[in-house]
Amino acid sequence: MESQSQDNYLPYSTPLFSFISFTDRTPYLSLPIDYHEHPSRSPKLCRELEQTLVNPVAGPALSLTCDFVLSSAEGDEFGIQVASDPHTPASPRSSARVVKMVSHLLSGFELDDYWRICWRMLAWGDAFASVVENPNGSLRFILLPTWQIHLEVDEFTGELTKVYQLRPGDSAKREIDLESFCHWSYRKGFVYGRSIYYEVRDAVESYKRNSEDISDSSRSAAIVPSIHIMPEGASSEYLQAYKTDHQHQQKQSIVSDIYIPFGADVKKPFGGVQQFPLSAMKEAIQFRRLEIAVASRVPLYLLGIEYKSAREISLQPAMTFRLHIGRVRSILAVGLKKCIDRHLKKQGFPPPYSYQLIFPKIDLNPFDIAAPPDDSTFIDTDG
């Protein structure tokens, strides 16, 4: 719907209840520098997924998930511990040497490195890094831009054959050494993973539109315009002079003023503010909010969303979230073990390697006695 001409002297650029029509909307606010990427691979998908990060439901849920991966509900952030694996046959002396060596290799990694890997893996679908050695022999990550990393695989076997980084606008490809390359992929397809929010991109955009609609319509309903009726026979010059003088006196006023010729009539639709039909719009945004929250796998009560159902009462969402955390931990652990095993081999330790990575035990509900215990131990499985 086109905006009104200035000749009508309306104080609104669009009709009073413009939320009914579809209009151009301002883009999302600029993302923080840590969130923003300059993609050379799938730019459209990258931008759509970036929009989820400023969503008031998706963003906090993602951060909360990463917190739970690396800590207990009480905030005990012990990181990842190393222990002997009783399922792998090895002599006690050999097992102790491997555990000691793995602990040393992991000592170079910071807890924040793990957190950022989990965050990128869930937000984008993939996290990439190069592993390098510190002067003391421990390892550290150099995280790579997710949307600038391109993978080439054998189309028959799916084996990774080449990795390179391509910056937007660059023709030169920076090839990355496969021996130092690490890849964590969530819901991996043939080559790349898929974001946890992949299916709710439209819901995130709808949530934003509905929020703007409620904000615009609430303002429109709350502001009661002052109607100025000109005397009969008043010229357009008189009207303009009156309007200019009045606006000069009330520059700081939030009251909307409408200037109309004598004899015209303006009525505010739907009666008073209390009768304005916002309920349907609120239901729409609550539905989108619930849709995004469900996609995050985080129990609604952890996000401050009140929702009573038999599933909530029986703690099924908490159990589902526990399984989700276990899955993310498993992907993270398998990727770490591949990096570690590679370096153990360089150090002359023969496989199989008898060690396991242990995460903090999580407890979503201190009264959840009937819930099965959390299995925080991961062995080298096909993640």
Signed CA dihedral, 281, 286, 288, 289: sign only: positive
Domain residue ranges of the chain, discontinuous segments joined by +: 43-196+311-378, 225-267
Top pLDDT among 35 and 16 is at 35
Nearest partner of 300 among 55, 64, 49, judged by Cα: 64
DSSP conformation class of 159: -
Could you tell me the pLDDT band of residue 379, with boundaries at 50, 70 and 90?
A: very low
- Whole-number pLDDT of residue 257: 61
- Lowest-confidence range among 15-24, 63-72, 181-190, 257-266? 15-24
- Whole-number pLDDT of residue 89: 66
- Lowest-confidence range among 30-39, 58-67, 81-90, 125-134? 30-39
Could you tell me the pLDDT band of residue 162, with boundaries at 50, 70 and 90?
A: very high
Could you tell me the pLDDT band of residue 190, with boundaries at 50, 70 and 90?
A: confident
pLDDT tops 50 at residue 356? yes
Reported as a single tens digit per residue, the pLDDT across 125-154 is 999 999 999 999 999 999 999 999 999 999
The burial of 42, by beta-carbon neighbours within 10 Å (0-12 exposed, 13-18 middle, 19 or more buried), is given as middle
User: Half-sphere exposure (CA, 13 Å, Cβ side) for 180?
Assistant: 15
Mean pLDDT of the chain: 76
- Whole-number pLDDT of residue 84: 85
Enter the tokens of residue 322. 């526990």
- Whole-number pLDDT of residue 60: 92
- Whole-number pLDDT of residue 6: 35
- Lowest-confidence range among 57-61, 311-315, 370-374? 370-374
Using a pLDDT cut of 90, give the percent of the chain over it: 34
Reported as a single tens digit per residue, the pLDDT across 283-314 is 888 888 889 999 999 988 888 887 766 555 55
pLDDT tops 50 at residue 32? no
Nearest partner of 25 among 180, 237, 207, judged by Cα: 207
Number of other CB atoms surrounding residue 228 within 10 Å: 14
- Whole-number pLDDT of residue 245: 74
pLDDT tops 60 at residue 1? no
pLDDT tops 70 at residue 365? no
Nearest partner of 342 among 139, 91, 163, judged by Cα: 139
Contact (CB, 8 A) for 160 and 151: yes
Reported as a single tens digit per residue, the pLDDT across 69-102 is 988 766 666 678 898 877 766 666 667 888 899 9
Nearest partner of 325 among 363, 357, 291, judged by Cα: 363
Top pLDDT among 363 and 169 is at 169
Top pLDDT among 230 and 159 is at 159
- Whole-number pLDDT of residue 253: 59
pLDDT tops 90 at residue 165? yes
- Whole-number pLDDT of residue 4: 37
pLDDT tops 60 at residue 40? yes
Q: Looking at residues 352-373, what average pLDDT do you find?
A: 67
DSSP conformation class of 364: S
Reported as a single tens digit per residue, the pLDDT across 197-225 is 999 999 998 888 877 777 766 666 666 66
> Measured at the alpha carbon of residue 126, what is the angle toward residues 156 and 36, in degrees to the nearest 5?
140
